[in-house]
Amino acid sequence: MSETPIVVKDPAGSRDNEIRPFAIEGMDVRGRAVRLGTVVDQILKAHDYPEPVAKILGELLTLTAMLGSMLKFNGIVTIQTKSGGPVPMMVADYELKEDGVGRLRGYADINAETMAQYGKNPSFHGLIGSKNGYLALTIDQGEDMDRYQGIVELKGETLSEVARNYFQNSEQTPTEIRLRCDHDPVTNYWRAGGIMVQHLARGETGQERILERNTAEEWNRASVLMHSVKTEELLDPQLTLDQLLYRLYNEDGVRVFDSVALVHACRCSRERLITVISQFSDDDIDHMTVDGKISVHCQFCNSTYDFTPEEAHAAHAAAAEGVPEETSDETSDKN
């Protein structure tokens, strides 16, 4: 057996962890292709999810990156599923910062008891979609800006179907999506990939309105070609997204736009968490103290932060006085 490195590095020249926007020449069709390597591997390996749950979370991360990259401004896109099934909640979020790099993170909540009842190969519906399950898409543009939220029922046999329904119903935009997450057969690392095409409203691409043009036919062609992609092709590390797009659309001509790089990054930090703790009362802080410390767990990245009761009380006192947190937080590890 070959040795597995503890930290998975992207191979030199790797084109993983990118989102590639594209348009098909002469058609009112645009799309996104996404490929995740180390990013999805790190996120999924930080937890010990049952295989079927990990695969859906990998697809959710792919979908979130895809939709997040469609924003025209810096912000956070969150996609969350809720249901009464064995996976009561699953969430992924994507944040684009000024450096133009997309940050991705996510986790799943699992009810181990009900999970056991579903056997080895539970369906998507059984895990996620049952009992009034829904998927919510939230777009956050930061403080003082409107928050957008769209919701769709978790009806369908795959996450791709749910996402497709979301676009058809909420956005009235004809959309086809394929998502996939699985182990690399050679390295056993997690990989994920996805592709989507959308039919734009007439004229949105800046073209003249050509009323006679048969857009139904071109849309049909673009989606049939997209669905001809093999699941292995979505994940294959030897096949870049550009090669994949060329394979699918070379007869029509495909134009690719600047890609967005993706990294796995969590937004948790000691500073952020002590601010949360500072909002609790002194009594609450005492109740939260176990074995002389207050432990706060970040479900996204599975890290635990420990605070002393003194730190917590001092932060609370500072917050109550309205003193900026930084000046009181002398014990924090920043320097």
Q: How far apart are the first and last CA of the chain?
A: 44
Q: Nearer to Zn ion by C-beta: 59 or 93? A: 93
Got the DSSP string for 40-88?
A: HHHHHHTS---HHHHHHHHHHHHHHHHHHTT-SSS-EEEEEEE-SSS--
Q: Give the residue from 264, 266, 265, 261 showing the smallest Cα distance to 16.
A: 261
Pick the piece of the chain touching Zn ion (CB under 5 A) from 69-77, 175-183, 235-243, 301-309.
301-309
CB of 163 to Zn ion, least distance (A): 25
| Least distance to Zn ion, CB of residue 54, Å | 18
In the complex with Zn ion, which residue's Cβ is closer, 262 or 298?
298
| Least Cβ distance, residue 20 to Zn ion (angstroms) | 28
Residue 298 interacts with Zn ion (CB under 5 A): yes or no: yes
Write down the least CB distance from residue 91 to Zn ion, Å. 12
Q: At 272, list the tokens.
A: 């952020």
Q: Which of residues 38-97 bind Zn ion (CB under 5 A)?
A: none
DSSP track, 242-306? HHHHHHHHTTT-EEE---EEEEE-----HHHHHHHHTTS-HHHHHHH-BTTBEEEEETTTTEEEE
Interface with Zn ion, residue 229, by CB under 5 A = no
Q: Give the interface segment with Zn ion, choosing from 7-15, 124-132, 215-223, 292-300 (CB under 5 A).
A: 292-300
Task: Give the residue with the Cβ less far from Zn ion, 300 or 307.
Answer: 300
* Smallest distance from Zn ion to CB 103, Å: 11
Q: How far is the CB of 102 from Zn ion (least distance, A)?
A: 17
Number of residues that bind Zn ion (CB under 5 A): 5
Least CB distance from residue 233 to Zn ion, whole Å?
A: 33
What is the chain's length? 335
Give the nearer residue to Zn ion in terms of CB position, either 215 or 269: 269
Measure the CA–CA gap between 116 and 309, rounded to whole angstroms: 39
Q: Which is nearer to Zn ion, 268 or 314 (CB)?
A: 268
Select from 101, 268, 273, 314 the one that contacts Zn ion (CB under 5 A). 268
The residue (of 267 and 287) whose beta carbon lies closer to Zn ion is 267
Q: Determine which helix (DSSP H) or strand (DSSP E) holds 330, and give its type and residue range.
A: none
Which stretch, 28-36, 124-132, 169-177, 298-306, contacts Zn ion (CB under 5 A)?
298-306
Task: Give the span between the Cα atoms of 180 and 208, in whole angstroms.
Answer: 36
**Nearer residue to Zn ion within complex by CB, 235 or 266:** 266
Residue-wise burial string across 174-196, b where 16 or more C-beta atoms lie within 10 A, e elsewhere: bbbbbbbbbbeeeeebbbbbbbb
- Count other Cβ atoms within 10 Å, centred on residue 211: 7
Which DSSP string do the residues of 175-239 spell out, in sequence order? EEEEEEEEE-TTT--EEEEEEEEEEPPTTTTSPPP-TTS-HHHHHHHHHHHHHT--HHHHH-TTS
Which amino acid does the sequence have at 51? E
**Which one, 127 or 301, has the nearer CB to Zn ion?**
301
| Residue 266 binds Zn ion (CB under 5 A) | yes
Shortest separation between residue 299's beta carbon and Zn ion, angstroms = 8
Quick one: which of 280, 300, 312, 319 contacts Zn ion (CB under 5 A)?
300
List residues binding Zn ion (CB under 5 A).
Answer: 266, 268, 298, 300-301
